[in-house]
Structure 1
């Protein structure tokens, strides 16, 4: 017995096996780009909803760091409020009027703060604040306070026009809704 040879005759217009395979690869690639675009869109939506939120600043209390009209990026999942550090910019619900507010943490639980002639002192040591405009802080005074547990003391960078913890007191950590990712 010899070998029988079986031949395959493609249907009319079907092309060769090589051509059919190429068409299959092209169809697979045709779905790849829209699929990746859709996946990317869902990823961006998730980041926007649960991680990063843009916020437009409507006051001059954080000038010169964040001028009025600027957009900042808020890390809404950010570090636990228990891990906030002095110098970090935070967003919180103002104890005065429940409006979303942007300020800088000046002191955390257990720290003692005072402002003498525009200079911030934490635990008796003068704090270097390169983000301040000295012309906007000169002559500012605030009595010595100690930050209680579960709270932070916040200040605006534009001390002359900022309504902050000097006015409404300590901010509860539970009111902090995020930290500023950009600008820093």
Structure 2
């Protein structure tokens, strides 16, 4: 084998490894991110209708913090989270107002007639635009396992 054939073979093998590695990275990024289009006014002015956000998938509630904007699977029937999700891709964007053990926020406590702490395994979500939002005031506590992603860098009143 001449030196040039050896070099060409080595470069071809290196290119194949690089392409395979790049493909693996692309697959991992696709699995860890979620593209969501804002559908309504409930998160205005933070997120506006038609705006596209990239959310980071979460694996368990450990990385969630009160104040995060999250993507959650929408229930089939509001108020009954035990039902299957409402069709593929049915998602809500809301702000986490309380996590398990936190006090139930006033607007939710008043609307639902509850008090005390958020039960273990559940969270409270609210829209930034209360007048245009269907949220925990309407459908109650959200199972934490229905929160599938969080939108980084979303703070109240700051447009993205």
> What is the 5 A alignment of 1:95-110?
95=75, 96=78, 98=86, 99-110=90-101
1:61 aligns with 2:53: no
Alignment partner, residue 112 of structure 1: 104
Q: State the shift of 1:112 in Å.
A: 3.0
Q: TM-score, normalised by structure 1?
A: 0.64
**Which residue of 22, 32, 54 corresponds with 2:4?**
22
Which one is further off, 172-181 or 158-167? 172-181
Q: For each residue in 1:58-117, what CA deviation from the matched residue of structure 2 results, as whole angstroms up to 9, or x when unmatched?
A: 1221122121112222222x25225532101111123417431111101122313114xx
**Which residue of 61, 71, 83 corresponds with 1:81?**
61
Higher RCO (CA < 8 A, seq sep 6+): 2
Q: TM-score, normalised by structure 2?
A: 0.72
Alignment partner, residue 43 of structure 1: 25
Count, aligned residues = 140
Residues in 2 aligned to 1:29 and 1:60: alpha-carbon distance in whole angstroms: 53
* Contact in 2 for aligned 1:55/1:73 (Cα 8 Å): yes
Structure 2 residue matching 1:174: 3-state secondary structure: helix
Which stretches of structure 1, 4 residues or more, deviate above 6 A after TM superposition? none
Structure 1 residue matching 2:151: 3-state secondary structure: strand
Structure 2 unaligned blocks of 5 or more = 79-84, 156-160
Residues in 2 aligned to 1:107 and 1:179: alpha-carbon distance in whole angstroms: 15
Structure 2 residue matching 1:112: 3-state secondary structure: coil
Higher helix share: 2
Greater C-alpha Rg = 1
1:159 aligns with 2:139: no
> What is the 5 A alignment of 1:1-20?
20=2
Residues in 1 aligned to 2:63 and 2:8: alpha-carbon distance in whole angstroms: 52
Structure 1 unaligned blocks of 5 or more = 1-13, 15-19, 121-140
* Contact in 2 for aligned 1:152/1:172 (Cα 8 Å): yes
